[in-house]
Amino acid sequence: MKLSRTGYGALALATTSALLLAGCASGGSSNGGTTTSGAITVGTTEVVTSLDPAGAYDNGSFAVMTNVYPFLLNNPVGSSDVEPDIAVSAEFTTPTEYTVVLKDGLTFANGNELTSSDVKFTFDRQLAIADENGPSSLLANLDSIDVVDDTTVVFNLKEGNDQTFPQVLSSPVGPIVDEDVFPADELATTADIVAGKPFAGPYTLESFDQGNLAAYAANDVYQGLWGAPANDAVNVKYFANESNLSQAIETKAVDVAFRSLSATDIEKFESTDGLNVITGPGGEIRYIVFNFAIQPYGSATAEADEAKALAVRQAAADLIDREKISEQVFKGTYTPLYSYVPEGLTGATESLLGLYGDGNGGADAERAAERLAAAGVETPVVLNLQYAGERYGAASSEEYAQIKAQLETDGLFTVNLQSTEWGQFTKDRVEDMYPAHQLGWFPDYSDADNYLTPFFLEGGFLFNHYNNEEVNTLLREQLVTPDAAERTAKIEQIQDLVAADLSTLPMLQGAQVAVAVDGVDGVTLDPSFKFRFGTLTK
Amino acid sequence: MTVDTIAADAKPLAVKSSKGGGLGRYLLWRALLIIPTVFILVTMVFLLMRTIGDPITASVGDRLPPDELQRRISEAGYDRPILVQYFEYLGQVLTGNFGTTISDNRAVTEVLLTFGSATLELVFYTLIVAFIVGIPLGMLAAYYRDRGPDAGLRVFAIFTYATPVFFSGLLLKLIFGIWLGWLPVSGRASIATELQIQMLPNPSGFYLIDAIRLGSLEAVGDVLSHAILPALTLGLMTAGVFLRLVRTNMIGTLGREYIDSGRSRGVGEFRLVTKHAYRPALIPIITVIGLQIALLLGGAVLTESTFEWKGLGFQLAYYLSARDFIAVQGIVALLAVIVALSNFVVDVLAALIDPRVRY
């Protein structure tokens, strides 16, 4: 074929395009990404819904807020308990008055002074906006706030001696905002927040491309508990899914990958040269809820029998081997949970460990059979068990297949397993449709109460018809017990009582896992469940 | 049939044209059809989104008691009669107000502008790949009809067209990104380039343009290197369609008498193929491009998610999982408009090229 002028033109175009693309490819980074020099790049799959503390109540948004906004109280590194952050003191001055005194000379990154007026504005604003996606419900016990002087504020509480209130001030409802930047009665836009620089936390947010990239710089005016950041700048790259985040850390396109990587990838990275896996206790828990009305022998069933119903729950607890599920399904990224308050928090116990199974965490089918026989329960017990893989991850199907297999050991149970779409699941679970079902929880703040009161006080949000007056009394008491040791004892007692009743069956506690490339240090994963950029070094 | 006979066939149509109103009426009719197309799509999405639950339940359904959950749902107005919500939504849309997303509190118009430009950029690269690969190879296959190269190219076309984009995308990432380490596996640019683009006054959202504005060859190369794998993933799928279409039409035109006539007059083979046979074969391709836009946008959802290409498809997947009615409705409405408009443009082009289409 003889080429014409047009033919040569087409060939030239094609060749140029190919060369250009190839040239560009070689001009790009060889490892699939280029991190900015000096800055540490963190990759995550979390989603930021808003930079305005009044409009977001999710992990992704709180992770940003933790690093850019100041808090009155916060968790020191390594602790789940709280201490004054930008405050010099914070204490109950009367049972219903919680007085906070700010440090002198606090300012925001934009130069505005941070005074008690900003503090009052922050919390009044949360209550005024009460956004449906916001955390204002955490302020249910707050009646009003008085400004005493520029550095002193008094929180007037509805119920006295609320021991969770200091924790609430360190929670997603607690970031202090600049009254000159944020509107009093509506949410601020992301663009206005970034432009207004209302940051008095360890970092300022230099740019924020929502869902894609955030650039942080160390904040010179930060005077809080965590001290000056150990690095000058951090970039956070947001990924759509675990797989893409995994590839990014594997190709070293990011320096640190945090939340969430699949169990399989984490296991692989543990033996990958140049990558280091860092773990810490996590706040997330997975558990099974028993519906006391419609479970086998439940109060609303034809053969209602409280003793038999309890035996069924306890036999189920005897048959569960959490360690096996942890290892085989989650490769250790979730660890066995033997009580209601997870490991790492003040008041955590292992109440179920001695009560059920072989006493060491393993299953004991013989004990389960004896328990059922003693109560006169006919076997196999038919149990309809529901789970929501859409909500709790793809591994749920494998997790619940394991649970089914364990419960059906020696023919003691016949488990009908079913997965339901999340929207339908949330409706059905409170309408007595599921005798037993899966749920998960991530805490609002790092206090044991957050794993107890919402669940067990007069049935809590579970709506599973569990109500134990002794538990209710203890829950109310611990909430207002100022003495830490006395309060901890009550929290432990509550767990022992619920472990005997088995309103829910605690299954697993999620570990926090990060993967860092060689040369990056300071990844700190502690029971505060807060990821601090300021400890990272490269 | 010769060129002369084609012209002769067209004569009666031209007479009819003068009676029926011709191109203007045809275009008006096609333009008006856009309205019910978009309306029906928006209505269907509105109704379907409400069958999969509300965003509040999706977000906090496992941490609130039912009464508190219901209170929040009521406050947001999601429990009102669906017709009330529908007419309210239509009223807003007609006034150009697409609302604010529920899950991340952003103006839908901002979402459409931000992510729409990314999708447009991907479609642009995709069409380049589709044209560069599909058309020349289609011509080659037609020229070597039923011989070795033709058979190979037909298999290649079927392979590229039939392979799901999420699979081909993962395969390309694995080979060129992970194993060989030649190309980036995700994103539209490296973090360093993205930070520079963010600092530009009024960035266009079209990264290639923004990188050129930066005046940095490295940034341009970086942006293009990130585009290669997603463009190949989506572009090869489209190229397979083009290849087969060009081949089929070229075989038809290569068999025409005027080609033999040209050959007998000493016209070169390359010129015969690329000019005389190729141009008449282009008309059906133009029509197919219109249909391909819809397929491309569908493929973009998977491609964008696979490559972290943060465009409309990527965001649509996120908003769907969050049951964000407002965002999904806005994005689908825009996609419907894009598809309807691109089909309209194709209809116009086809009518201009071939008057018979107007009837």
Residues A211, B317: C-beta atoms closer than 8 Å: no
Residue A49 to chain B, least CA–CA distance (Å): 4
Q: Within an 8 Å CB–CB cutoff, is residue B54 touching chain A?
A: yes
Q: Which of A14, A187, A460 sits opposite B132 (nearest CB)?
A: A14
3-state secondary structure A262-302: CHHHHHHHCCCCCEEEEEECCCCEEEEEECCCCCCCCCCCC
Q: Within an 8 Å CB–CB cutoff, is residue B59 touching chain A?
A: yes
CB proximity list for A159: less than 8 A, separation 6 or greater: A96, A141, A479, A480
* Chain B residues lying within 8 Å of A425, measured CB to CB: 61
* Predicted complex: ipTM over 0.85: no
Which carries the bigger pLDDT value, residue B152 or residue B349? B152
Residues B185, A244: C-beta atoms closer than 8 Å: yes
The answer for B 83-112 residues in CB contact with A (under 8 A) is 102-106
Residues A244, B308: C-beta atoms closer than 8 Å: yes
* Amino acid at the residue A281: P
Residue B145 to chain A, least CA–CA distance (Å): 15
Q: Within an 8 Å CB–CB cutoff, is residue B247 touching chain A?
A: no
Average pLDDT across chain B, whole number:
82
* Beta partners for residue A214, in sequence order: A208, A236
Q: Are A76 and A70 in contact (CB under 8 A)?
A: no
Residues A212, B194: C-beta atoms closer than 8 Å: yes
Q: Within an 8 Å CB–CB cutoff, is residue B336 touching chain A?
A: no
Q: What residue in A sits closest to B178 (Cα-Cα)?
A: A251
Residues B62, A439: C-beta atoms closer than 8 Å: yes
Q: Within an 8 Å CB–CB cutoff, is residue B187 touching chain A?
A: yes
Residue A526 to chain B, least CA–CA distance (Å): 23
Residue B261 to chain A, least CA–CA distance (Å): 18
Reported as a pLDDT band with limits 50, 70 and 90, residue B106 is confident
Residues B186, A239: C-beta atoms closer than 8 Å: yes
- Kindly calculate the radius of gyration of chain B based on its CA atoms and give it in whole angstroms: 25
Residues B59, A133: C-beta atoms closer than 8 Å: yes
**Kind of pairing, strands A381-387 and A436-441?**
parallel
Residues A190, B186: C-beta atoms closer than 8 Å: no
**Secondary structure (3-state) at B187:** coil
Residue B13 to chain A, least CA–CA distance (Å): 34
* Chain B residues lying within 8 Å of A41, measured CB to CB: 191
> What is residue B350's predicted lDDT score, i.e. its pLDDT?
75
Q: Is the dihedral of CA A167, A173, A177, A180 positive or negative?
A: negative
Q: Which of A55, A212, A391 sits opposite B310 (nearest CB)?
A: A212
Of A216-225, B33-42, B339-348, which has the strongest mean pLDDT? A216-225
Q: Which of A20, A235, A424 sits opposite B191 (nearest CB)?
A: A235
Q: Which of B106, B184, B220 sits opposite A33 (nearest CB)?
A: B184
Q: Are A466 and A299 in contact (CB under 8 A)?
A: no
Residues A55, B192: C-beta atoms closer than 8 Å: no
Q: Are B59 and A135 in contact (CB under 8 A)?
A: no
CB proximity list for A124: less than 8 A, separation 6 or greater: A145, A184
Residue A520 to chain B, least CA–CA distance (Å): 18
> What is residue A13's predicted lDDT score, i.e. its pLDDT?
45
Q: Within an 8 Å CB–CB cutoff, is residue B266 touching chain A?
A: no
Q: What residue in B sits closest to A209 (Cα-Cα)?
A: B198
Query: What's this model's pTM, rounded to 2 decimal places?
Result: 0.79
Q: Which of A30, A36, A463 sits opposite B65 (nearest CB)?
A: A463
The position carrying tokens 């992990």 is A59
For residue B77, give both structure tokens.
């107005």
> What is residue A37's predicted lDDT score, i.e. its pLDDT?
53
Largest CA distance in chain B: 86
**Lateral strand order in the sheet of A504-510:** A334-336, A504-510, A285-290, A436-441, A381-387, A413-419
- Overall residue count recorded for chain B in this entry: 359
Q: Within an 8 Å CB–CB cutoff, is residue B210 touching chain A?
A: no
Tell me how far apart the alpha carbons of residues B311 and B301 are, in angstroms, rounded to a whole number.
8
Residue B174 to chain A, least CA–CA distance (Å): 9
Residues A2, B184: C-beta atoms closer than 8 Å: no
Residue A344 to chain B, least CA–CA distance (Å): 22
Q: Which of A3, A21, A29 sits opposite B184 (nearest CB)?
A: A29
* Chain A residues lying within 8 Å of B185, measured CB to CB: 32-33, 244, 247-248, 251, 253
DSSP one-letter code for B26: H
Interface test with B, best of A8, A284, A387, A422 (most B CBs within 10 A): A422
**A132 closest CA partner among B67, B82, B59:** B59
Residue B191 to chain A, least CA–CA distance (Å): 6
For the segment B176-192, the average pLDDT, to the nearest whole number, is 89
Q: Are A325 and A507 in contact (CB under 8 A)?
A: yes
Q: Are B106 and B319 in contact (CB under 8 A)?
A: no
Residue B37 has pLDDT above 90, yes or no: no
Which of A192-206, A501-515, B12-26, B41-55 is predicted with the least confidence, judged by mean pLDDT?
B12-26
* Chain B residues lying within 8 Å of A240, measured CB to CB: 305, 308, 314, 317-318
Reported as a pLDDT band with limits 50, 70 and 90, residue B248 is confident
* Chain B residues lying within 8 Å of A424, measured CB to CB: 53
- Overall residue count recorded for chain A in this entry: 538
Residue B296 has pLDDT above 60, yes or no: yes
Q: Within an 8 Å CB–CB cutoff, is residue B173 touching chain A?
A: yes
Q: What is the DSSP string of A25-79?
A: HHHS-TTS--PPSSSEEEEE------SSTTS--SHHHHHHHHHHS--SEEPPTT-
Residues B105, A422: C-beta atoms closer than 8 Å: no
Residue B147 has pLDDT above 60, yes or no: yes
Tell me how far apart the alpha carbons of residues B272 and B259 are, in angstroms, rounded to a whole number.
7
Q: Within an 8 Å CB–CB cutoff, is residue B11 touching chain A?
A: no
Which carries the bigger pLDDT value, residue A124 or residue B5? A124
Q: Are B160 and B236 in contact (CB under 8 A)?
A: yes
Tens digits of pLDDT across chain A (538 residues): 444 444 444 444 444 444 344 344 333 333 334 445 589 999 999 888 899 999 988 889 999 999 999 999 999 998 888 999 999 999 999 999 999 999 999 999 999 999 999 999 999 999 999 887 789 989 989 999 999 999 999 999 999 999 999 999 999 999 999 999 999 999 999 999 999 999 999 999 999 988 889 999 999 999 999 999 999 999 999 988 888 899 899 989 899 999 888 888 999 999 999 999 999 888 899 999 999 999 999 999 999 999 999 999 999 999 999 999 999 999 888 999 999 999 989 999 999 999 999 999 999 999 999 999 999 999 999 999 999 887 888 789 999 999 999 999 999 999 999 998 887 888 888 889 999 999 999 888 889 999 999 999 987 888 899 999 999 999 999 999 999 999 999 999 999 999 999 999 999 999 899 999 999 999 999 888 899 999 999 9
Which carries the bigger pLDDT value, residue A33 or residue B314? B314
Q: Which of B63, B69, B183 sits opposite A441 (nearest CB)?
A: B63
Residues B228, A33: C-beta atoms closer than 8 Å: no
Residue B175 to chain A, least CA–CA distance (Å): 12
Tell me how far apart the alpha carbons of residues A248 and B178 are, in angstroms, rounded to a whole number.
10
Q: What residue in B sits closest to A60 (Cα-Cα)?
A: B104
Q: Which of A21, A237, A427 sits opposite B228 (nearest CB)?
A: A21
CB proximity list for B149: less than 8 A, separation 6 or greater: B140, B141
Reported as a pLDDT band with limits 50, 70 and 90, residue B3 is very low
Question: At B169, which helix (H) or strand (E)?
Answer: helix B165-172
Q: Within an 8 Å CB–CB cutoff, is residue B217 touching chain A?
A: yes
For the segment B182-211, the average pLDDT, to the nearest whole number, is 90
Other C-beta atoms closer than 10 Å to the C-beta of A124 total 17
Interface test with A, best of B104, B316, B323 (most A CBs within 10 A): B104
Question: At A147, which helix (H) or strand (E)?
Answer: strand A142-149
Q: Which of A6, A29, A250 sits opposite B190 (nearest CB)?
A: A29
